[in-house]
Amino acid sequence: MYFSRKILMVSLLCIYASCNADAQRGGLSLDYYIETCPSVEEIVRSETERIMSIAPTLAAPLLRLHFHDCFVRVSSYDIGCDGSVLLNSTKNSKAEKDSPPNFTLRGYGSIERVKAAVEEKCPGVVSCADIVALVARDAVSILKGPYWKVPLGRRDGRISNASEALANIPAPTFNFTQLKASFAVKGLTSKDLVVLSGSHTIGTSHCSTIATRLYNFSGTGAPDPSMDPEYVARLKSRCRPTDNTTLVEMDPGSFRTFDLHYYENVGKRRGLFTSDSTLLSDGLAGSYVRRQGSLATAAEFFEDFSDSMVKLGSIGVLTGKEGEIRKRCDAVN
Ligand SMILES: *[C@@H]1O[C@H](CO)[C@@H](O)[C@H](O)[C@H]1NC(C)=O
Ligand SMILES: *[C@@H]1O[C@H](CO)[C@@H](O)[C@H](O)[C@H]1NC(C)=O
Ligand SMILES: *[C@@H]1O[C@H](CO)[C@@H](O)[C@H](O)[C@H]1NC(C)=O
Ligand SMILES: *[C@@H]1O[C@H](CO)[C@@H](O)[C@H](O)[C@H]1NC(C)=O
Ligand SMILES: *[C@@H]1O[C@H](CO)[C@@H](O)[C@H](O)[C@H]1NC(C)=O
Ligand SMILES: *[C@@H]1O[C@H](CO)[C@@H](O)[C@H](O)[C@H]1NC(C)=O
């Protein structure tokens, strides 16, 4: 009774104040820039469209930048999506950008371009962390994926720490237990994990990331037995054991469309990374994969993905007077 009354009260308040529970998450709001930069979303959208028309393969890296930004905790404070992933190293500190998980990160120049366009219209108002979140959303929706409302008002952090990046980012070699644990630290559930893994419907990876899986999985010279042998053969024909330059598609055949094929492939034991294949080893995640792999409509996945992205985007945000609004994204003011 208590709970239902409380929920009723909240929803009444929301009707009158025209608010939305998601919008309030973590002190962010959907209309944060309504007075200070009302056109921010249009500027970001048109710049992102321009970038994607020239370099469509940047969509996955731009999405991944947001993910990495939110996942890395900065210096013992619980700080997440704060634009720290964009900072260059300085004389005194090595930035996240320059730690090994950086190999897959690209798109810094694009964010800088979007930031410059926003600065031209609204100088010193919109954070780099918000720009990264908006660009990620736009990149996904331009590839025919879901479109979600991005709560805004993140402030930019002043610290970027390479060694923390290393410790925080889940590796492609992680099994389900490890993935689940690293997501749980950020307040993300197994459902968020299987849903956000759907990001692998777009993008590519270097052969070197899967060399061990293909050529020497458990030190015996054999491939990972959990992979479909036909898929292994196909990957081997593309990736020699020491190849560190060739790219492989994460979702073969449709890696430039944000769709459900990823789950279909994982369900057929054609997940590229251990972190993809391992989803089948968990009851909940496995049944999600199989259900999405067989769904005729993308509606459920799109809705889930939108919800998980909003959750991801609110991890450890700086708000109010915390942090700063950077002038450019690769350096603190
Ligand atoms: C950050 O690094 C990039 C790439 O090396 C460089 O182009 C840019 O000028 C650097 N930014 C600053 C503020 O030094
Ligand atoms: C990634 O980090 C390594 C190791 O610090 C560095 O040598 C390399 O230049 C970085 N790569 C990029 C693309 O920033
Ligand atoms: C970076 O993080 C590590 C591990 O948390 C910590 O030992 C180190 O002091 C940090 N470096 C900076 C410059 O904050
Ligand atoms: C997952 O990996 C960790 C670390 O290598 C290991 O301790 C654990 O047993 C693995 N879990 C499963 C279910 O394979
Ligand atoms: C496979 O891995 C084992 C153990 O790590 C190593 O001793 C062996 O040399 C590797 N074989 C090849 C062909 O790389
Ligand atoms: C890639 O492979 C070549 C030849 O095997 C090697 O010389 C080079 O250092 C490697 N690069 C990286 C980034 O590992």
Ligand approaching nearest to the C-alpha of 278: 4
Q: Using a 6 Å cutoff on CB, does residue 242 contact ligand 6? A: yes
Task: Please state the atom number of ligand 4 nearest to the C-alpha of residue 175.
Answer: 1
- Calculate how far, in angstroms, residue 222's C-alpha sits from the geometric centre of ligand 4: 20
194 DSSP 8-state letter: H
Q: Specify the pLDDT at position 143.
A: 95
Please state the length of the chain. 333
Q: What torsion do the CA atoms of 85, 251, 280, 195 make, to the nearest 10 degrees?
A: 50
Residue-wise pLDDT for 190-236, tens only, equals 999 999 999 999 988 999 999 999 999 989 899 999 999 999 999 99
Residue-wise pLDDT for 251-307, tens only, equals 888 878 899 999 999 999 999 999 999 999 999 999 999 999 777 678 999 999 999
pLDDT band at 76 (very low <50, low <70, confident <90, very high): low
- Please report where in the chains the tokens 């979007």 appear, as a residue: 114
Residue-wise pLDDT for 141-194, tens only, equals 999 999 999 999 999 998 888 777 777 889 999 999 999 999 999 999 999 999
- Please report where in the chains the tokens 């993308």 appear, as a residue: 298
Annotated binding residue 259: yes
Residue-wise pLDDT for 16-57, tens only, equals 333 443 334 458 999 999 999 999 999 999 999 999 999 988
- Calculate how far, in angstroms, residue 101's C-alpha sits from the geometric centre of ligand 2: 9
Residue-wise pLDDT for 300-330, tens only, equals 999 999 999 999 999 999 999 999 999 999 9
Instruction: Give the predicted TM-score (pTM) of the model.
Output: 0.88
The two tokens of residue 215 are 């050529």
Task: Please state the atom number of ligand 5 nearest to the C-alpha of residue 216.
Answer: 1
- Calculate how far, in angstroms, residue 63's C-alpha sits from the geometric centre of ligand 6: 27
Q: What is the mean pLDDT of residues 85-103?
A: 78
Active site residue 261: no
Ligand approaching nearest to the C-alpha of 218: 5
- Please report where in the chains the tokens 């048109």 appear, as a residue: 46
The two tokens of residue 37 are 């930069």
- Please report where in the chains the tokens 């993910």 appear, as a residue: 67
Distance CA 143, CA 166 (A): 30
Annotated binding residue 38: no
pLDDT band at 104 (very low <50, low <70, confident <90, very high): low
- Calculate how far, in angstroms, residue 177's C-alpha sits from the geometric centre of ligand 4: 6
Ligand approaching nearest to the C-alpha of 221: 5
Query: Which structural domains are found in the chain, ordered by start?
Result: 40-169 (1.10.520.10), 176-311 (1.10.420.10)
Q: Ligand 2 test: best mutation among 65, 88, 99, 102, most atoms within 8 Å of CB?
A: 102
Q: Using a 6 Å cutoff on CB, does residue 244 contact ligand 6? A: yes
